[in-house]
């Protein structure tokens, strides 16, 4: 039996649908009725200060733990109930470094491939292609430890793409990088959207990483204050820039760091 | 080529499970081989006991003939199964704790975003730790052989293997449960004081329980209730080419219970992972 291409239904599901997700650690509410959607193949930015609830949301979307209320769907698959199917569509770049520094780039790729049930040959081939794609073909046999921070990030992006996900989550991927490396990572990620139609959800607190056509989800103190294109968010707030719009939106709750 | 050219999306088949397990074990072994200090300290620890402690006690402690031994054995021979179990105990606690704390948190998250079921990922991780502990045990046995510690027949080196797999699983799963339940055990010194030492000393690793019974009946009771005792006895009998059914049953039962508890602890909807999020 051959598997046919997924039929195009009248309403194709969002790459990511977060529906009424709430979460609390004890009495502290980290997420309060959060809802938004990320359409397939777009560059979306989750914008929020530290402590806004980005990490909690990230952990719930990646199925590290379940939300107290609400649902998360990835291409229509409920993360809590069909986690296998949901996670197969998802690539992740965590904020903390998760490559094995003592292993080579290629060994890291092979390990990731195995985790996604790929054979060694398949993972080797695809890993090589993707490492070339992020411009580090000559570093394939080098230990990760020998790579710069920016290079490691690029390898992490290549690794997140290994199993061919249609949505990639990046949690503050430019944190701790210099200006040049930051620009490189951003350019590389935007190319994935433009050339390969990979959907991206990029979390950050830096407004200068946002373009007018990007979808922006403003998360503040566990609540979604806006979820639209940056252009529309700016217009709705009556601001001149996304930075100003963010300040206006989050004003009134100014007791945070 | 396109980054999005996704490999045909198939359901997670048997081969995929195999790739996951093989990958996790392969990576753990590679990492272990890179960490020479860990290998050396894992080997030195039991050897210190063997060369110093056992040598000292050889004269003062006579071991009478108890199963599985059919002849009088030296004290070094008697404590070898205990030291083997100690290697596995240390290894199990170490790998389970490092899994959660330190920089490992990141790679643990990487593991858990795999589409494979979580119980399978955790079991694979445990088996990988067991594989590493078995490498350590055989390295120890090679050195012990030069010290004239060997089973009655060469078969002992083979019959000990299933016992090592099972006891390694039990101790690794225990480490996993402890690391998730007890927040105070965040550093290894705490684990040494409150888990490793009590488990090791209150067991049949260093002295036969009938001797403990003579000295302190309540301590003997504690030893009898300690699952580690049965891991030691299972290994002791297996090394001598014999099977102690009761130890097997206890170790098997404890493995299942600890493993189930570990899976529950790592369950996304309740476990300890939540408390650490932020």
Per-residue model confidence as pLDDT tens digits over A115-156:
999 999 999 999 999 999 999 999 999 999 999 999 999 999
**Chain A neighbors of B271, CB-CB under 8 A:** 65
Task: Decide if A21 is inside a domain.
Answer: yes
Q: Enumerate residues 100 to 119 of chain A having a beta carbon within 8 A of any beta carbon in chain B.
A: 100, 102-103, 107, 110-119
Please write the tens of the pLDDT for every residue from B135-145.
Answer: 999 999 999 99
**Is the model's pLDDT at B1 over the cut of 90?**
no
Q: Of A235-239, B133-137, B190-194, B230-234, which range is least confident? A: B190-194
Minimum CA–CA partner of A97 in chain B: B106
Mutation site for A-interface testing, chosen from B113, B266, B278 by largest number of A Cβ within 10 Å: B113
Task: Decide if A76 is inside a domain.
Answer: yes
Residue among B104, B112, B118 at smallest CA distance from B31: B104
Q: Are residues A172 and A245 in the same domain?
A: yes
Please write the tens of the pLDDT for every residue from A182-225.
Answer: 999 999 999 999 999 999 999 999 999 999 999 999 999 999 99
Q: Please report the ipTM that was assigned to this predicted complex.
A: 0.85
Minimum CA–CA partner of A83 in chain B: B115
Q: Are residues A108 and A158 in the same domain?
A: yes
Mutation site for B-interface testing, chosen from A98, A112, A119, A169 by largest number of B Cβ within 10 Å: A98
Cβ within 8 Å, pair B17-A56:
no
**Encoding tokens for residue B100?**
């959660």
Q: How many independent structural domains does chain A possess? A: 2
Q: Enumerate residues 218 to 257 of chain A having a beta carbon within 8 A of any beta carbon in chain B.
A: none
Q: Which of B5, B106, B116 sits opposite A94 (nearest CB)?
A: B106
**Chain B neighbors of A198, CB-CB under 8 A:** 3-4
Task: Decide if A145 is inside a domain.
Answer: yes
Residue whose token pair is 């476990």: B271
Cβ within 8 Å, pair B7-A129:
no
Q: Are residues A65 and A104 in the same domain?
A: no
Percent pLDDT > 90 in chain A is: 75
Q: Which of A80, A84, A103 sits opposite B30 (nearest CB)?
A: A103
A14 touches chain B (CB under 8 A): no
**Residue with the larger pLDDT of the pair B34 and A209:** A209
**Residue with the larger pLDDT of the pair A97 and A152:** A152
pLDDT for the residue numbered A256: 44
**Chain B neighbors of A118, CB-CB under 8 A:** 7, 16, 19
Task: List C-alpha distances in Å: B154 to A70, A96, B84, B145, B187.
Answer: 60, 49, 17, 11, 40
pLDDT for the residue numbered B128: 92
H runs (alpha helix) in chain B: 14-34, 36-48, 55-60, 75-100, 104-112, 118-146, 156-181, 188-191, 197-201, 209-215, 217-225, 227-239, 245-265, 273-276
Position A251 confidence tier, pLDDT thresholds 50, 70, 90: confident
Cβ within 8 Å, pair B113-A62:
yes
Q: Are residues A76 and A123 in the same domain?
A: no
Q: Are residues A206 and A233 in the same domain?
A: yes
Q: How many CB pairs under 8 A join A and B?
A: 149
| CATH number, domain with residue A210 | 3.40.50.300
pLDDT for the residue numbered B103: 47
Helix axes B118-146, B245-265, angle to 10 degrees: 140
Structural domain containing residue A108: 99-164
Task: List C-alpha distances in Å: B266 to A99, A112, B121.
Answer: 22, 21, 11
Tell how far CA B51 is from the center of its chain. Answer: 22
Position A254 confidence tier, pLDDT thresholds 50, 70, 90: very low
Q: Of B41-45, B121-125, B230-234, B268-272, which range is least confident? A: B268-272
Domain ranges of chain B: 34-273
A143 touches chain B (CB under 8 A): no
What average pLDDT does range A77-83 have in this prediction?
91
Question: A193 and A200 in contact (C-beta within 8 Å)?
Answer: yes
Query: What is the DSSP secondary structure assignment for residue A4, as one 8-state letter?
Result: P
Q: Are residues A173 and A244 in the same domain?
A: yes
Indicate the average pLDDT of chain B.
85
Q: Are residues A72 and A104 in the same domain?
A: no
**Is the model's pLDDT at A11 over the cut of 70?**
no
Q: Enumerate residues 56 to 95 of chain A having a beta carbon within 8 A of any beta carbon in chain B.
A: 56, 59, 62-66, 80, 83-88, 90, 92, 94
Cβ within 8 Å, pair A117-B35:
no
pLDDT for the residue numbered A68: 80
pLDDT for the residue numbered A4: 44
**Is the model's pLDDT at A9 over the cut of 50?**
no
**Is the model's pLDDT at B214 over the cut of 90?**
no
Cβ within 8 Å, pair A165-B19:
no
**Residue with the larger pLDDT of the pair B94 and A135:** A135
**Is the model's pLDDT at A1 over the cut of 70?**
no
pLDDT for the residue numbered B60: 66
Question: A209 and A202 in contact (C-beta within 8 Å)?
Answer: yes
Q: Which of A56, A90, A195 sits opposite B277 (nearest CB)?
A: A56
How far is the C-alpha of B199 from the C-alpha of A172, rounded, in Å? 44
Q: Are residues A68 and A171 in the same domain?
A: yes
**Chain A neighbors of B34, CB-CB under 8 A:** 102-103
Mutation site for A-interface testing, chosen from B8, B31, B100, B115 by largest number of A Cβ within 10 Å: B115
Q: Are residues A175 and A79 in the same domain?
A: yes
Position A5 confidence tier, pLDDT thresholds 50, 70, 90: very low
Q: Are residues A117 and A214 in the same domain?
A: no
Q: How many CB atoms lie within 10 A of CB B45?
A: 16
Cβ within 8 Å, pair A25-B274:
yes
Q: Are residues A77 and A198 in the same domain?
A: yes
Cβ within 8 Å, pair B278-A83:
no
pLDDT for the residue numbered B3: 54
Q: Are residues A83 and A104 in the same domain?
A: no
Please write the tens of the pLDDT for every residue from A18-65.
Answer: 999 999 887 888 899 999 999 999 999 999 998 888 988 988 999 888
List b or e across B246-256, with b for residues whose CB sees 16 or more CB atoms inside 10 angstroms.
ebbebbeebbe
Q: Enumerate residues 172 to 211 of chain A having a beta carbon within 8 A of any beta carbon in chain B.
A: 192, 195-198
Q: Of A58-67, A97-106, B3-12, B63-72, which range is least confident? A: B3-12
CA distance B144 to chain A (A): 31
Cβ within 8 Å, pair A118-B19:
yes
Residue whose token pair is 């030069």: B146
pLDDT for the residue numbered A72: 95
Task: Decide if A74 is inside a domain.
Answer: yes
pLDDT for the residue numbered A10: 46
């Amino acid at each position: 039996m051959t598997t046919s291409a997924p039929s195009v239904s009248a309403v194709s599901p969002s790459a990511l649908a977060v529906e009424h997700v709430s979460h609390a650690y004890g009495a502290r509410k980290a997420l309060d009725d959060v809802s938004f959607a990320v359409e397939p193949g777009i560059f979306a930015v989750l914008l929020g200060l530290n402590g806004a609830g980005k990490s909690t949301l990230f952990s719930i979307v990646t199925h590290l733990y379940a939300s107290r209320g609400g649902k998360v769907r990835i291409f229509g698959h409920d993360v809590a109930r069909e986690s296998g199917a949901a996670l197969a569509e998802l690539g992740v770049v965590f904020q903390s470094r998760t490559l094995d520094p003592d292993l080579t780039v290629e060994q890291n790729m092979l390990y990731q491939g195995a985790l996604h049930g790929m054979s060694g040959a398949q993972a080797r081939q695809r890993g090589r292609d993707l490492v070339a794609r992020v411009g580090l073909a000559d570093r394939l046999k080098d230990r990760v430890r020998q790579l710069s921070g920016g290079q490691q990030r690029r390898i992490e992006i290549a690794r997140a793409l290994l199993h061919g996900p249609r949505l990639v989550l990046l949690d503050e991927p430019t944190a701790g990088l210099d200006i040049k490396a930051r620009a490189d990572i951003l350019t590389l990620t935007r190319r994935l959207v433009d050339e390969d139609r990979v959907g991206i959800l990029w979390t950050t607190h830096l407004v200068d990483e946002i373009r007018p056509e990007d979808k922006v989800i403003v998360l503040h103190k566990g609540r979604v204050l806006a979820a639209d294109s940056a252009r529309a968010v700016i217009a709705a707030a009556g601001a001149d820039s996304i930075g100003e719009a963010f300040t206006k939106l989050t004003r009134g709750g100014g007791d945070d760091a | 080529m396109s980054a999005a050219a996704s490999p045909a999306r198939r359901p997670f088949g048997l081969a995929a499970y195999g790739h996951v397990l093989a990958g996790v074990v392969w990576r753990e072994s590679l990492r272990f081989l890179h960490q020479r200090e860990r290998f050396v300290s894992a080997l030195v620890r039991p050897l210190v006991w063997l060369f110093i402690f056992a040598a000292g006690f050889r004269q003062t402690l006579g071991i009478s003939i108890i199963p599985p031994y059919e002849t009088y054995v030296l004290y070094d021979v008697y404590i070898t199964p205990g030291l083997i179990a100690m290697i596995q105990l240390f290894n199990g606690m170490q790998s389970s704790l490092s899994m959660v704390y330190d920089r490992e948190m990141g790679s643990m998250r990487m593991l858990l975003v795999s589409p494979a079921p979580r119980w399978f990922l955790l079991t694979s991780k445990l088996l990988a730790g067991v594989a590493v502990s078995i490498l350590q045990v055989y390295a120890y046995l090679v050195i012990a052989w030069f010290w004239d510690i060997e089973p009655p027949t060469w078969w002992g080196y083979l019959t000990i293997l299933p016992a090592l797999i099972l006891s390694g699983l039990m101790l690794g799963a225990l480490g996993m449960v402890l690391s998730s339940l007890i927040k105070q055990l965040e550093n290894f010194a705490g684990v040494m004081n409150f888990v490793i030492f009590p488990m090791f000393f209150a067991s049949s690793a260093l002295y036969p329980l009938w001797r403990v019974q003579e000295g302190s009946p309540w301590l003997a009771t504690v030893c009898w209730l300690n699952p580690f005792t049965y891991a030691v006895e299972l290994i002791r009998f297996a090394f001598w080419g014999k099977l102690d059914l009761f130890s097997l049953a206890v170790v098997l039962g404890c493995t299942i219970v600890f493993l189930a508890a570990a899976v529950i602890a790592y369950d996304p909807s309740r476990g300890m992972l939540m408390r650490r999020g932020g």
